[in-house]
Amino acid sequence: MTIVFSLGAPKANKVVIDKNYLPDPFNYTLQLKITNQSLDTLYYRLSLVNLDNWSISSPSDGKLGAISGQSASYFLVTLQRAKPSTDVHEAGYLKLEAFTDQYYSNKVDEGQQPIDFYIEDLEAFTNVTIHTFQNDMEGWSRVYDPSYDVVDLVTSPDVEGGGHSVRAYSSRGNYHEVGIEKSVTLPSNSKVRLAFMWTYSRSNARFCDVKIYINGELVYDFYWHQKCEYGSDSGSKWYKSGVDISEYAGQEVTIRIVCGGNAYQQGVNSFEMRIDHIVIAGKD
Ligand SMILES: [Ca+2]
């Protein structure tokens, strides 16, 4: 028997967290997809290895519950840590154990996935470009189908106050992506980061995600449908997301930041998000 579990994105095992946007202590939520390859229902429990500063705050005991045989489930897991006073890089593993019983006593398999946390003050980096969308698109082009989608600037909400954010809206039925794209020459430093703020409004669709592509390759994917139940709105809350893109240092790349969704799932008819305060940072 083999446990298969994957983090929410191809490279989500390298997580950049901008220390400027952290409460103390802070929580980090990540998505897990767990596939039960056996024929029988199994019960899964998550724990941390070599991540001594972190604990699992939700579910607090790491117990994820049952997954039927030959099926997969998604979980949002929240890890907690005290806010560090300096930049830190912490590497460890997420350990997943499978049990045949609801008491988690008869273990039949286990597996591990690596995860690297970089907690950094991105705007203190030496080579920083910040796109704040004060009153124009700053050279970003639209990723959309004009028959169904809108990508424009709105004044509310706005991260900085008094400026704009980018709105990406769609009423298209099948899964597709709406957002912005730009060619950028990245810093030539040993560490290169890409981070941005996002929020949503009238996000009635299920199965939405936020993605970043570099040269067409998916480097970040956060599956946020559990945050946008039908008719909900994030209000003024912005989420900060970031990813390590050091392997592209010094290159001219095309950055694409999108909201993906399926507007017609379960009778809803649109999805919508905002993008603002995109940070490209380099540091040796
Ligand atoms: Ca702005």
CA of 222 to the centre of ligand 1 (A): 22
How much is the pLDDT for 114? 92
Lowest mean pLDDT among 89-93, 135-139, 193-197, 264-268: 264-268
**Cα separation, 281 vs 121, whole angstroms:** 10
How many Å lie between the centroid of ligand 1 and the Cα of residue 132? Answer: 4
- Give 152 Cα–ligand 1 centroid separation in angstroms: 13
Three-state secondary structure readout of 50-118: CCCCEEEEECCCCEEEEECCCEEEEEEEEEEECCCCCCEEEEEEEEEEEECCCCCCCEEEEEEEEEEEE
Ligand 1 centre to CA of 164 (Å) is 4
109, burial (CB in 10 Å: exposed 0-12, middle 13-18, buried 19+): middle
In sequence order, which residues have a C-beta less than 8 Å from that of residue 70 and are 6 or more positions away?
36, 37, 38, 39
d(CA 281, CA 112): 31
User: Contact, 117 vs 132, CB < 8 A?
Assistant: no
| Least trusted range by pLDDT, from 1-5, 11-15, 22-26, 105-109 | 1-5
Distance 27 CA to ligand 1 centre (A): 25
Beta strands 271-283 and 165-170, pairing class: antiparallel
Distance in Å, CA 220 to ligand 1 centroid: 22
Token couple for 124: 């203190």
Interval between CA 155 and ligand 1 midpoint (Å): 8
pLDDT confidence of 207, banded at 50, 70, 90?
Answer: low
Which neighbouring-strand residues pair with 74? 33
Residue 258: pLDDT above 60?
yes
Contact of 158 with 164, CB cutoff 8 Å: yes
Ligand 1 centroid–CA 131 distance in Å is 8
Distance CA 116, CA 95 (A): 14
pLDDT bin (cut points 50, 70, 90) of residue 231 is very low
Q: How far is the CA of 197 from the centre of ligand 1 (A)?
A: 10
The residues whose Cβ lies within 5 A of ligand 1, an ion, are 132-133, 158-160, 163, 276
164 exposure class (CB count in 10 Å sphere: 0-12, 13-18, 19+): buried
> Residue 77: pLDDT above 70?
yes
The Å distance, Cα 277 to ligand 1 centre, comes to 6
Higher local confidence (pLDDT), 2 or 99: 99
The full set of domains in the chain, from first to last, is: 3-120 (2.60.40.2310), 124-283 (2.60.120.260)
Q: Over 70: is that where the pLDDT of 172 sits?
A: yes
Nearest to 269 by CA among 261, 278, 260, 277: 261
Confidence (pTM)? 0.86
Cα dihedral angle (129, 134, 135, 139), rounded to 10 degrees?
10
